[in-house]
Structure 1
């Protein structure tokens, strides 16, 4: 009993203390050992130091080994797109073409193109915000709707639903299920339509309601707008080229090159590799696509950089905190998994439904909400229950691609509760509060994505992939 209480209490403390601003780098090991200590009180007798060094740290290191290249290259790519002006060029061109009467759509579409192309959502928020302010002010749409518009384009369908997205949330399930980034495309597209269409409908409704009430952009004298010289930005085609390369190269490699029968990966099953082609092909494809796209982006925009070396270095250094935060949460999850009391929790989760699709969706979503992290919650859920779901799915004749897509969709629901780091950062960039803007953020990034996931689950149960 003490063990179960320890697990539940540690999860509650993880959510509460993370919301209070304490870094996960400290919280994850401390709360993992707290749960282990509670299990010891309950009679299991867990050695704390061995648990820390041989379970927590080993799991953390394993996660870094698997995903660091993607975090690293993704951060560098985002920084290159930002410093070169390519991100601003894309959002500025879209905004100019659509016009002020389509301000919300312009912001959402700008964010969507950038994140679907692999640019970090944080870079996207910084790049699009100045353009969003100009558009919303000219269209006299309340500024409080800007965070919701950015969240819709950056935190939802391009992060989890659309097949091929290079965001880390779409990469995490690949080694667990032997899939690639284009897994279950029909489910992803269907859920993406619900998220994108539903989110736009909500924001448009809110804008019309505000206009009917006589509410305009508002008085925001402290707006911090960074001016940019349009003449110094790359052309739209030059800016889009690296993004298109990420998607096209990733697709070709994962679907036509690194597949059994065309690529001889038999050596992978032998020492020192001891893996399989299906476990690494998706990761390899994305790594190569990002490397080529980074090089092309630098070559095309070389004269626009103040210093290429600094740009690449800053991107690389910026990736460290992101991966260590997530890896720490994985270490936490693996400690919890070793505790005897977790078997009770595990059976409770699996007992929710005999269908692994439903059980997976619930476990991923709940853990993403508790940790305030889509990637962290999914990593914990799949790290502890991924193999179980995979085995049950094979027994029931369920395509592993379905497990991949449902996991990615589910992680993008409760993750953006008010304590989520991306939400807090977005509101900080916009200079707004939870009270002013969270209702819209919550609707477009929590409620509607959960509805999209439910639609995908229904289609999956019907046999659609």
Structure 2
């Protein structure tokens, strides 16, 4: 009982510390100690093997992705290419549709196979231009990026290349297009719900007179008093981003997913330099600062380390047993159980790996259609996976320069509340029809 209580306290404490502005490193260490002590785990072994195993594993797997993505984003911003793209979007759609443009752009990139981490770095400098011209508060931005990347394109739309759709396919033996009609229905509901929320939120902040204010780390010269005549060609500025998307779509069978992203980002960065050589006046600083920006990976890695400590705690298995033992209709039980595991782990892919490997075959044996189970668990995993203690939330808020207190509420309503509601709606539809 003490171990279970310790897990709950640790997760709650991590959320509280995040809201109070405590950094990811000290917060993860403190909360890991709570888990270790309340579960009777060996202190040094838990830190040296579990915690550091998670940290090292994440950094080892994604370090090149982060630095290549950060360098690309820095090159786009310093060359003026990001601003050129942003202003072209404004010419096409107007500042009143800035939110919609960002949601759709983020969605297209992630549906094309670009990871959320890459999208954050690539879209941020463009988003700053749109937000400045539309006079929208920066606190909206994390929610918009999370909604566009981690909801309807990640878990609902058929054929999504994101892990949340791939893992059920691997475990259940289904295709990436499993239950396409149910997936499209879920995606439409999510999109309508999320966009409606931002329309309401935008009206609210405008009525309150809240507008755009750059953060302390933002280079205001990139989006204030910009001489548009000196910006690069918009058409050429789109080219590196288009090449990244095309490479990820058409070369995914030639290279490994991580390898492909890294190659694509570095090649795209080289193209930015070649096309804008004269506009990159301090190339050494662009390179140094861009690579330095990628060090933000540490903030995610330490939260992953905490997650590994949690998964190694004896009490964690009690949570899993409880989640897996819910006695309801298989579809409804699967949704509830998946949500619980996602909330504890703070990761949709981690949740699905644990849940489906443990009980996927058992649910199928109970009569669940594998394709429907695939889609329902994928949608459900995209709900509580974005609670405040999730590693992805720390990196998203960190890159944008927004605190949990300032920006998380928009993430909650669009990536937690709405996907959970949609998951239950789809479960009841599946029970009634399939």
TM over 0.5, shorter chain: yes
Aligned residue number for residue 93 of structure 2 = 98
CA contact (8 A) 1:56 1:331 kept: yes
- Cα pair distance change 1:392/1:194, threshold 3 Å: same
* Correspondence 1:155 to 2:146: yes
Aligned residue number for residue 272 of structure 1 = none
2:53 to 47, 53, 58: 58
Gaps of 5+ in 2: none
Residue-by-residue CA offset, 1:324-377 (whole Å, 9 max, x unaligned): 222222222222222322221111122346558525640365247xxxxxxx54
* Correspondence 1:314 to 2:294: no
- Cα pair distance change 1:172/1:114, threshold 3 Å: closer
Rounded to whole Å, the distance in 1 between the matches of 2:7 and 2:74 is 38
Aligned residue number for residue 269 of structure 2 = 294
- Cα pair distance change 1:82/1:194, threshold 3 Å: farther
Aligned residue number for residue 42 of structure 2 = 47
Q: CA deviation at 1:156?
A: 0.7
- Cα pair distance change 1:422/1:229, threshold 3 Å: farther
Q: CA deviation at 1:236?
A: 2.5
Q: Secondary structure at the match of 2:251?
A: helix
Rounded to whole Å, the distance in 2 between the matches of 1:113 and 1:303 is 31
Aligned residue number for residue 410 of structure 1 = 383
Aligned residue number for residue 132 of structure 1 = 131
Rounded to whole Å, the distance in 1 between the matches of 2:417 and 2:400 is 19
Gaps of 5+ in 1: 41-45, 137-142, 259-280, 369-375
> Superposed, which structure 2 residues align to 1:23-422 within 5 Å?
23-40=23-40, 46-100=41-95, 102=97, 104-106=99-101, 108-109=103-104, 120-121=119-120, 124-125=123-124, 127-136=126-135, 143=136, 147-148=139-140, 150-151=141-142, 153-162=144-153, 170=162, 183-184=176-177, 186=180, 190-205=185-200, 215=207, 226-254=224-252, 256-257=253-254, 281-322=256-297, 324-352=298-326, 354-355=330-331, 357-359=334-336, 361-363=338-340, 365-367=342-344, 377-378=347-348, 381=351, 385=355, 387-388=357-358, 398=370, 402=375, 405-406=378-379, 409-410=382-383, 414-415=387-388, 421=394
What's the TM-score, normalizing by structure 1? 0.69
Aligned residue number for residue 11 of structure 1 = 11
Larger RCO, structure (CA 8 Å, separation 6 or more): 2
- Cα pair distance change 1:103/1:74, threshold 3 Å: closer
Rounded to whole Å, the distance in 2 between the matches of 1:416 and 1:47 is 24
How many residues align? The count is 407
What's the TM-score, normalizing by structure 2? 0.73
Rounded to whole Å, the distance in 1 between the matches of 2:433 and 2:283 is 49
CA contact (8 A) 2:100 2:195 kept: yes
